Amino acid sequence: MRLMTQAKFAFLVLAVTLAGCDKPKGAAPGKGPTPVGVVQIRAEKVMVTEELPGRTSPYQISEVRPQVSGILQKRLFVEGADVKAGQTLYQIDPALYKAALDNAEASLAKAEANLETIKLKTDRYRELVRINAVSRQDTDDADAALKQAEADVASNKAAVETARINLDYTRIVSPISGRTGISSVTPGALLTANQANALTTVQQLDPIYVDVVEPTADLMRMKNELASGKLKSAGPNSVKVRLKLDDSTVYGLEGRLEFADVTVDQGTGTVTLRALFPNPRHELLPGMFVRAVLEEGVNEKGIVVPQQGVTHDTRGGATALVLNPDGKVEKRDLELGEAMGNKWVVKSGLNAGDLLIVDGLQKVKPGAEAKAVPLETAQ
């Protein structure tokens, strides 16, 4: 009886096993390609830009020094204030120079009086020599004395002018309009003509220069692309420049490229470019670190993609996933240009017609199969 029970149990297990083997393989639900949201890349007209580091420098700068020696009486400006060209900044004690001018004027008056006397004498001698009342020698001596007196007058006039100029130099004026710096002297200091140390510095800040450096390789690349037609010039004398400040904010006013140096720095292999920016509110100060964005030209077949389709690897490199015609995911390494709102300009790595995966990036990996679906469905 016990043997029959065991036999029945074995028969039931075998029946269940055979029933499971007879179930069709396709009955279990299979996993198909992962749906992902894609956008098709199209070529469009893009302004090609380059971002370069640089520093600001004043449009004009003047170091103020005395041109005559003397004791400083007054400082007539506020440090850090704006001054006009010709405005008096310092006053040197003028007493000695006023006395020198008075002395020169007195010598000039004496020379002019002497000239008048000699001139009258010479005129009389010229009349008398015609009737042989005086000798020819006396007349020649009178003419020579007249010329000597005229030379004395001219010399004294020059002395007066020199004394007047030296007196004017006791007023030390600003040679340019701009903003003053720190004064290196105080009243009572002894100043020396053309001394090495400047009394103060005046800098013109509006407009202001921005000097940037560009590698010669990039400069040659841009020229070759313009020559080959890959880039089109934005127009003659139209290289515009925008600024990004040290805190990443964008300066509100646009500048223009003024100058490109003709000499390559042998140490760094770079060329200096100079741009000119309006600076009416003096937001830009000399020596500030900035980044200049230069418009190099127009790419008629530029590539612009949504930022959500671009990721970065552990080394900071930009990458993207695309869906190839075989329905498989490919990874592309990108070289990015400037950000345009919520999009990136792509310099290399993507082509027109590529299907860029912008939604479902976390669901797929390179080499996996995927299916392109509308973005709304993928989300």
Q: Quick one: average pLDDT of 23-46?
A: 70
Instruction: Look at residue 26 in the predicted model and tell me its pLDDT.
Output: 39
Looking at CATH, the fold of the domain delimited by 68-93+170-197 is given as OB fold (Dihydrolipoamide Acetyltransferase, E2P) (2.40.50)
If DSSP codes are grouped into helix, strand and coil, which group holds residue 151?
A: helix
Q: In whole numbers, what is the pLDDT of the chain averaged over residues?
A: 83
- What percentage of the chain reaches a pLDDT higher than 90? 37
- What percentage of the chain reaches a pLDDT higher than 70? 86
If DSSP codes are grouped into helix, strand and coil, which group holds residue 230?
A: coil
Residue 34: closest CA among 367, 377, 363, 365: 363
Lowest average pLDDT, out of 97-101, 161-165, 269-273, goes to 269-273
| Residue 298: pLDDT band with limits 50, 70, 90 | confident
| Residue 31: pLDDT band with limits 50, 70, 90 | low
CA distance 313 to 275: 35
Chosen CATH of 95-165 out of 1.10.287.470, 3.40.50.2300, 1.25.40.10, 1.10.260.40 = 1.10.287.470
Q: Which CATH superfamily is domain 43-58+204-378 in?
A: Efflux pump adaptor protein, beta barrel domain (2.40.30.170)
Lowest average pLDDT, out of 40-49, 114-123, 365-374, goes to 40-49
- pLDDT, one tens digit per residue, over 223-251 is 776 666 555 555 555 578 889 888 888 89
CATH 1.10.287.470 domain residues, the chain: 95-165
Tell me the residue type at 197. Answer: N
Lowest average pLDDT, out of 58-67, 74-83, 88-97, 317-326, goes to 317-326
Residue 320 pairs in a beta bridge with 332
Per-residue pLDDT for 4 more than 50?
no
Highest mean pLDDT among 112-121, 174-183, 309-318, 361-370: 174-183
Per-residue pLDDT for 354 more than 60?
yes
The predicted model scores a pTM of: 0.65
Helix axes 95-128, 136-168, angle to 10 degrees: 160
Q: Compute φ and ψ for 99, nearest 5 degrees.
A: -65, -40
Per-residue pLDDT for 191 more than 90?
yes
| Residue 175: pLDDT band with limits 50, 70, 90 | very high
CATH 2.40.30.170 domain residues, the chain: 43-58+204-378
